[in-house]
Chains A and B, each alone.
Chain A
């Protein structure tokens, strides 16, 4: 994707964000300048954000075709890994409350070590078991973090 295309797309997204912020600001009530309401500052920021997005958009129009630029996703196969990792992270964050810290961490580490760039089983088992124990020990006992215990009780 070319640089100007990237800029154009991102500028439009920013413009939408800016408008949402401004509308949110108005809903919170702007107040007057002499008695600023809670929505005034967000509204001002939203306006500046929108203005900057418009500038970026027009700058990209003025730019020539320019360099080809890097492809956004040159290796779709590798980019798929990013999606897997993100899904694993989200499931881990949600699952921790139900399964408890130890079980979910064990599964999380095991999955990342085996499924993304497969390691030998010994490495996977050692890594996930030791990792879980060390993290549990440090955060639970040294830093006093109360981890969720989950349905299994540990």
Chain B
């Protein structure tokens, strides 16, 4: 409790409060723009947080994150355009509600739901993080290596498309992470004589290219047609009946979201989808889902917010990001030279508790701010895309330029913009790659240090109980997709069709 109060003392300084507000505002602003979700918003605005202290920077970047998340819900409800994958489900019922003239309550409940889910899961985070960080102190190199293997496999397992393709993207991300000066012998790897690759392929240019530039290219190609509801949005406050319908989905969404959020690759997306499925399952009128029922908005909107908070657990306790959003936050900590890992809680408690409390405050700001500001967001939505896109691109260029003040980073970002365009065309998902890119140096270091300790004996990963367990779970997940195939063959064999 004393720690929590300490967090308040950090987060409530005028300066941090200001950056929290600024982050939430700018995040919402970018999140409202079509096609740009939280990840894009954070990478676009990343440079604006660099000149701050680590605590203020983290607070602002986290603010950008949930601001963008909320901005995404707004576009889903009003336009049927999800800012990113996690708001896809919000479109299903939210947009229908808007068409029936109930855009107000839909926006209102998603704000309240996010607030309740966010608040409760901050409490969950406070309870879970310290013991987990304590446990993680037992982790050595082999455990970290095994944990990261498990993480990458879970990410691929939870990916929306093909698991193999997601794993391939993760492998490619791991490769990208090996570029630059080798950590142990100091030899440059895969740099092709390019100066800015000496420090490795930068996270921000890659994310900006993949989630910013390529998104704009695809939108321009497809030609976004948008229709904003001209209907006036009145009474944002949900009615008593709305509350009665929503309160249980909100509570279920919170619990579900928080625990799914802890999983690698879980975070907002899986939480939102699962919550929608659960609400539909337990509903007395499942057939009405998709026609504009408020439960279909309240549950997922709460869950994705709770999930985002849950995702902080592995980052703040183990120093391992579980999705692209957390990877960016980790990136910020690393640029400031903050030691991440189990000791973060002890050595940098101002960051830990300050950020946690600011998330709570940020949720309040979001609630207070967005209800009256919705009119403004709608105005921005009405700016035609052909006028908007040059500025989004300009943001990407200037943002990547300002990282190291050179144009090489800009060109790198453009290369990934082009690559990202083809990824989409060939149905490859970028998120596992981003995560792997960040994990790669840590994973390689863990592998090489483990092998040095064991003098080349791979048994070190199996003889230690924690790492053995983690690797066993990894193996099970890897083999899981094969199970139906085995059953299929056995059934065919029992039918006498043994020629398969």
Enumerate chain A interface residues (CB-CB to B < 8 A): 3, 6-7, 9-10, 14, 17, 21, 24, 28, 32-42, 45-46, 48-49, 52-53, 55-56, 59, 72, 75, 78-79, 81-82, 85-86, 89-90, 92-94, 96-97, 105, 108-109, 112-113, 116-117, 119, 123, 127, 131, 135, 139, 143-148
Contacts and interface: CB of A to CB of B under 8 A. Distances in A.
Name the residue in A14, A17, A72, A79 with the highest tally of chain B Cβ atoms < 10 Å from its Cβ: A14
A135 B47 CA distance: 13
B426 A41 contact: no
A14 B421 contact: no
Contact of A93 (B187, B410, B448, B451): B410
A127 B390 contact: yes
B220 A85 contact: yes
A36 B51 contact: no
A49 B20 CA distance: 41
B427 interface: yes
A109 B390 contact: yes
A89 B451 contact: no
A108 B397 CA distance: 11
B229 interface: no
B172 interface: yes
B455 interface: yes
Contacts of A144: 51
Contact of A28 (B174, B187, B216, B387): B187
A86 B405 contact: no
Given A49-B168, A135-B398, A90 B411 contact: yes
B444 interface: yes
A75 B218 CA distance: 12
Interface stretch (B178-186, B240-248, B310-318): B178-186
A147 B401 CA distance: 9
Contact of A89 (B171, B213, B387): B213
Contact of A33 (B184, B185, B451): B451
A42 B164 contact: no
Interface of B: 47-48, 50-51, 162, 164-165, 167-168, 171-172, 174-175, 178, 182, 184-185, 187, 189-190, 213, 216-217, 220-223, 386-387, 389-391, 393-394, 397-398, 401-402, 405, 407, 410-411, 414, 417-418, 421, 425-428, 444, 447-448, 451-452, 455-458
Contacts of A148: 407
A74 to B, nearest CB: 9
11 contacts: A21-B175, A28-B189, A36-B451, A52-B167, A52-B168, A79-B221, A85-B216, A89-B414, A94-B411, A108-B394, A109-B394
B448 A41 contact: yes
A38 B398 CA distance: 34
B414 A93 contact: yes
A113 B390 contact: yes
Contacts of B393: 85, 89, 112
A131 B390 contact: yes
A42 B414 CA distance: 24
A56 B397 CA distance: 35
Given A53-B168, A145-B402, A146-B405, A92 B397 contact: yes
Contacts of B216: 85
A38 B175 contact: no
A24 B190 contact: yes
Contact of A45 (B162, B174, B187, B425): B174
Contacts of A42: 175, 178, 189-190
Nearest to A53: B168
A139 B425 CA distance: 34
Contacts of B387: 113, 119, 123, 127
Nearest to A134: B391
B417 to A, nearest CB: 7
Contacts of A48: 171
Nearest to B216: A85
Contact of B407 (A17, A34, A96, A108): A96
